[in-house]
Amino acid sequence: MDGENSSVDFRHSASGFSPAERHDGWWLVTTSRAQQLPRPSLSLHPSQGVSLGDTVTLRCHLPQPAAWVELFQDGLLRSYKDMDKHQVMAEFSLVCVKLEDAMKYWCQYRVLEPPGVSEKSVPIELVVTDHRYSPPNISISHKKIAEVGTNVTIQCCNQGYGGIIFLHKDGHSAPVQHQEPRGGGTATFILVAVTPADSGTYRCSYHTKASLFVSSPLGDSVTLEVTPTPAPPGAELVSRGNLVVAVVRGCAAALIFGLGIFFVIDAPSLWIQRDESLGREGI
């Protein structure tokens, strides 16, 4: 573990290693009365595509300054870092990642005045790609184009390694589906009632039974293109006919409305003309 501030890398149980050895007995005195503080958050950089031998940085983001920050690895206290009073982030580096580094991590922090300890952060998983495993094979039921509303099947085969098979879509940081095949190494993923949003490039990977945090490389890709359902023959003519009917009906309604207004406005003058005509005939 490397960082700007002093840090220590070790493997002890969270309860077995006492920071009191570093902080003059503060830990033993205040543990029972320490206040519970808001949890920090832990991020991984890079977040995916980590291979054996790479360097990874874990960043513990604090909601407030702290005296020191602790990093846990699968329930064990892996490292701690003393903090300056204005710092709100602690960095821990894993240099030359090994298989034993592939597991869950979380962090927490402690303050002195008043004494307090935070909740543990939400765990994150460090998944390491081991290129000694063969990439999985992939196939798709629709070779070229799929219409909206159809079901598309994608199959991935990990050649009998077992474990969990993941379906990835380019542009998505997390797998879109995963499956643990029974009695074989083939997973069948069904995209139900596809829409244009399902268009894209898909690949597969798998985690072996030996270690669920060790991944195979991504395999070859397949591309899915989803297009709107074509209109049935004659639909365009029917649509045009309906448009003409609608226009004619609209014109007729406007004409009737106009005639109605005309008669309402001119009715008094027509009655006057009728009365004058009858008067002349009487004379």
Mean pLDDT of 153-180: 91
pLDDT at 215 over 60: yes
Cα 55 → chain centroid: 25
Distance CA(212)–CA(203), nearest Å, equals 19
Taking a C-beta distance cutoff of 8 angstroms, is the pair 52, 130 a contact? yes
In this prediction the pTM is 0.66
- Radius of gyration, CA atoms only, the chain: 36
Calculate what percentage of the chain has a pLDDT beyond 70. Answer: 69
Distance CA(67)–CA(203), nearest Å, equals 45
Cα 166 → chain centroid: 15
Q: Which pLDDT band holds residue 143 (cuts at 50, 70, 90)?
A: confident
Q: Which pLDDT band holds residue 16 (cuts at 50, 70, 90)?
A: very low
Q: Supply the pLDDT for residue 18.
A: 44
The stretches of the chain forming alpha helices (DSSP H) are 26-30, 235-282
- Secondary structure element (H or E) that encloses residue 191, with its range: strand 186-191
Least confident of 18-32, 85-99, 220-234: 18-32
Distance CA(258)–CA(145), nearest Å, equals 53
Mean pLDDT of 224-231: 82
Q: Supply the pLDDT for residue 49.
A: 85
Taking a C-beta distance cutoff of 8 angstroms, is the pair 163, 178 a contact? no
Residue keyed to tokens 């008094």: 268
pLDDT at 167 over 90: yes
The stretches of 20-91 forming alpha helices (DSSP H) are 26-30
Phi then psi for 51, rounded to 5 degrees? -110, 160
Residue keyed to tokens 């999985």: 136
| Tokens describing residue 60 | 């513990």
